[in-house]
Structures are given as structure tokens and as C-alpha cells.
Amino acid sequence: MKNNLLPLGTRDEFGVRSEEKQRIIEVIQRHFRNLGFARISTPIIEKQVVFQPYQLVNSKMYRLLDQEGDTIVLRPDLTLPIARFLSSTSIPLPQKFCYVGDIFRLSRSLSGSYNQLTQAGIELVGYQSTKAELECLINIYDLSREILDEQVTIELGYADFAKIFLDIFTTDVNLRKQVAQALFDKKITEYERLISSFEDQRLYPLLKEWPRLFGEPEDIFQELNQYELPKSVTLRLKKIKEIVLLVKQILPKQQLVIDLSSRAPQQYYTGLTFRGFAKSGEDYIFSGGRYDNLLANFQAQNEPAVGMGIDIDLLTDLCVKKFNRIPKTLVFSSIKNWSKAQALVKKLPNATLSLSDTKADALKEAQKLQAKLIDIEEDEDEFEDSSN
């Protein structure tokens, strides 16, 4: 067997991708440090039992055994280790934590998915107020502008909305689960077949519309206003409306949508959920929400909490795409003009120094790198233009 092969689903990172990823991590760490968050890092291996409440969709955990024969896993998530940490220490609450680290998920082999992913995030533990959710949303706004130079769309939902809404129609737990599953997967044919037994119920027209119940807040609220809904549903809608109003006041330019037809990011979520996505990109960049029962997995006393994860790899992909659109420049000079050349490199967005001894070699180097060559001594005018 060859000794230089990587395991499936992993990769080496170098050059622009590595640089961009590091830059993004630094921006995020600085951002949260400036906001007074406490940095936390936990081991990459944990006991498997820590992740009991964690749902892995289409992937599995890497497992190994420790000296005692207990099953150890490479962490697939960074929130539960923090909950484990809080339950095993006497850290005073409330606290705001921020983290950056790698998570590991065994995805379907040969699917093109990576098994080692970098995630950043925050956990606001011990905060009951809506201000905790708001702080996350404001951070999505600030970070997306700082890192991507564009706004992401924030999508709001409510963790148990589907369950509460389906309670109106049936007490059959199994049927409720099947309908919710078909709704979340938008298996429309299956969904329509399952809900046909509720045809004579007053809210059936809304049930029929439900898979498409996402979009601009005004449109969704207008649609829902046509129906008389039970208090359990209106209470949750009130919470979403409250957040929508606050965001519109504080971040009037922020694009907001509501989705009441999607699954919560994890089953441990209990309240408002939020995610952020860019115009391009294959997944959500930001994902989080309220999970007031999280610590109950580890201790008797519960604590209110809101958290948010940030997909660093996806952010990196988007930034690298932008970076690659900037033409590469190779700067050539004699040793006596080295400082001048280096100063120019620092000013240009995608440039590096040529280390070739002759201009002819520098030209070959530029060809290999598909870069434009600037000779600092000959292209004086261009150099002057770029410096200004």
C-alpha cells in the first residue's frame, strides 16, 4: 500500500485556501474577543455518551476505544462538549463563550464530502432574554459584512413549531412524526397523501400550504392572519414577530426570511432558530438558536442558552472564489530594489515576489503561476500607478 495517501474525506490545505481560512478565523476570534466573549477549547476526543442528544444526518461518528474499553469519539459537534464542560465545573453563569475548532463526521464515502470540518461559534449560557438571540443575529450581520463583504439572508424559525401545529390535527404520535418527516424533507407526494386524512379539518388549507410557508416575514404573517390559530401557535409566532421587529429596528438593511416548514438544526433546540445563507454557497453559513434544556443532559439544573455555529470551510470557499477572481501578479526586481518590490507586493491584493535570478526565468515563473509579471525597474509607470 502506498504510504502517501490521505484517508477518504480529508484534505491538505495550502496556499490561498489556507491563508483565507486563517484570516477568517482571526477575524472571528478578534470580533468576539472585542465583544468580551471568553474563549474556550475542548479536546477533539470525547466519550461517546456526550453526544447522545446529537443527531447525525447521513453521517456517522469516528469511534475508538480508550484504555478502559470505553467508546471514545472524535467530536462531531462543539456545543455538547461545552455543555459537558459547564456541568462538570463551577463556572459562574451567565457566560458568553466563543470557540473555533475542528469537528469530525464520517460522511457517505466517495460522495465528495469532507469528514474534517472547521467550525467557529458562540454559546450564550444563562441568558433568558431575547437579547441573547439578538446578539447572535447582530453578529451574523457584522461578520458577514466583514468577511464576505456582502449581506447574508437570515432565516428565522421555531424549533417545535411543526410539532405544536400538528397537535391541532391529530393525537396519533406516529402519524404526526410521519407528516413532520415528509414536511421537513419536502416529499410533497408523500406529504399530501398523509395529510389527506385531515381534509375535513378547519385548518386543512393552511396544512396544504405549509411546505411553502417560507419567505418574506410580511408575506408569511399575512398568510397566517387569514386563519384563527390556537394560542400555542400564536405564542410562537409572537416570539418570531418580536425578533423580526427588533432586527428591523436595529439592522434596517438586514434581509430576513421566515421558514416554518423546516426541521430545527438539532433536536435539542427548544425555541427560536436562525440560520444565515449567502446568495451562493451550498449550505448555511450560520446556524443556531435557543436550547434551554441542553445542560439537562448532564446535570439536574437547567440553564437557558442560545448558541450559533459558523461554517468556516464554507466561508473560506466563498472567500477563495472571490480571491481567485483577482488576477495574480508576480513582482520581479534586482536585489538592490528588493524593499521597493516588497512594498509593492504588500500593496497589491494577490501578488508575490519572484525569486528568479533573471527576468527570463521570472517570465517562465509567471507563466507557470498564470500571473502577470511586473518588473519593478522596467515597469516604473505601472508600479507608480499601483502604489497610488
Binding site as annotated, residues for L-histidine = 77-79, 105, 119, 123, 268-269
The nearer residue to other proteins, 12 or 282, going by C-beta atoms, is 282
Cell 462531531, residue? 76
84 or 263: whose CB is closer to other proteins?
Answer: 263
What region, left, alpha or beta, does residue 144 occupy, with left being phi > 0 and alpha being psi -120 to 50 degrees?
Answer: alpha
For the chain, give the number of residues. Answer: 388
Binding site residues, as ranges?
Answer: 77-79, 105, 119, 123, 268-269
**Distance (Å, whole) CA 293 – CA 183:** 25
- Cell 474534517, located at residue: 116
Chain contacts with other proteins (rule: CB under 8 A):
57-58, 108, 111-113, 153, 155, 185-190, 212, 214-215, 257, 259, 277, 279-284
| Shortest Cβ 259–other proteins spacing (Å) | 8
Beta carbon of residue 47, minimum distance to other proteins (angstroms, whole number)? 28
Q: What amino acid occupies position 261?
A: S
B/e letters for 138-153, b = 16+ CB within 10 Å, e = fewer, are: bbbbebbeebbeebbb
Element (DSSP H or E) covering residue 225: helix 217-225
- Least separation in angstroms between residue 318's CB and other proteins is 13
Identify which of residues 150 and 378 has a Cβ nearer to other proteins in the complex. Answer: 150
Report, in Å, the least distance between residue 184 CB and other proteins.
Answer: 9
Distance in Å, CB of 54 to other proteins, minimum: 17
d(CA 314, CA 284): 8
Looking at the Cβ atoms of 153 and 352, the one nearer to other proteins is: 153
Closer residue to other proteins, CB minimum distance, 269 or 277? 277
Write the DSSP assignment of 7-52 as a string of letters.
PTT-----HHHHHHHHHHHHHHHHHHHHTTPEE----SEEEGGGGT
